[in-house]
Amino acid sequence: MAQLGFERVLDPTWMEALFEEHRGRQYERELLFSTTVDVVAMVALGLRPSVHAAARARQDLGVSLSALYDKLNRTDPALGRALVQQSASRLEPVVEQFRSGQKPVCPGYRVRIVDGNCLAPSEKRLKPLRKVRTAALPGRSLVIYDPDKCLVTDVLPAEDGHAGERTLMA
């Protein structure tokens, strides 16, 4: 059932339409947005240990690994947010069928759980900076979970890893 849910959300035609709507200054040539999402999803679901391994497992990637990494590095955070928001709205009817008859967590209120996450720094930094603890962090995100829907409904990405969670909430 989970596989059917992911297939519904990760439909390539829908993702390409989402990309066109929210792409900003980004572009597509040989590497489609849906392909990059598919590669990252394989890592996020634990099917592959890294982006490199996930890319090597795909026979139809059609670009070099450096091109894939460049595409991932230049993906606009707003596009990722739109992907999470619209994926949640696409999954909501499916999840509602499984949650029929369950009472709200706090009747009369809209409950949201907000969890901040500081993305882990990688060791792929300049050698002199690897041991410096005050080095730049790669980013931070706030994830918003709706317990009544059992879905992550939003994510607030920030490219500044030192940004406070309270400033992102505003």
Query: Which amino acid is located at 161 in the chain?
Result: G
Burial of 103-117, coded b for 16+ CB within 10 Å and e otherwise, reads eeeeeeeeeeeeebe
- What are the extents of the domains in the chain? 1-98, 105-170
Take residue 23 and report the two structure tokens written for it. Answer: 């792409």
Least confident interval from 49-53, 70-74, 159-163: 159-163
Instruction: Say how far apart CA 6 and CA 55 lie, in whole Å.
Output: 19
What sections of the chain are H helices per DSSP? 2-9, 12-22, 33-44, 51-57, 65-73, 77-98, 165-169
Nearest CA to 157 among 138, 137, 140, 169? 140
- pLDDT: which is higher, 7 or 69: 69
Mean per-residue pLDDT over the chain, rounded: 81
Instruction: Say how far apart CA 72 and CA 89 lie, in whole Å.
Output: 24
Give the pLDDT score at 129: 64
pLDDT digits (tens, 9 = 90+) for 83-103: 999 999 988 888 888 887 888
pLDDT digits (tens, 9 = 90+) for 125-156: 566 666 666 655 567 788 999 999 999 999 98
Instruction: Say how far apart CA 11 and CA 14 lie, in whole Å.
Output: 5
pLDDT exceeds 80 at position 162: no
Number of neighbours of residue 88 by Cβ within 10 angstroms: 20
pLDDT digits (tens, 9 = 90+) for 4-30: 666 777 788 888 899 989 887 777 788
pLDDT exceeds 70 at position 124: no
Number of neighbours of residue 68 by Cβ within 10 angstroms: 22
- pLDDT: which is higher, 34 or 170: 34
pTM: 0.78
Give the pLDDT score at 160: 65
pLDDT exceeds 60 at position 123: no
Take residue 47 and report the two structure tokens written for it. Answer: 């099917």
Take residue 82 and report the two structure tokens written for it. Answer: 């739109």
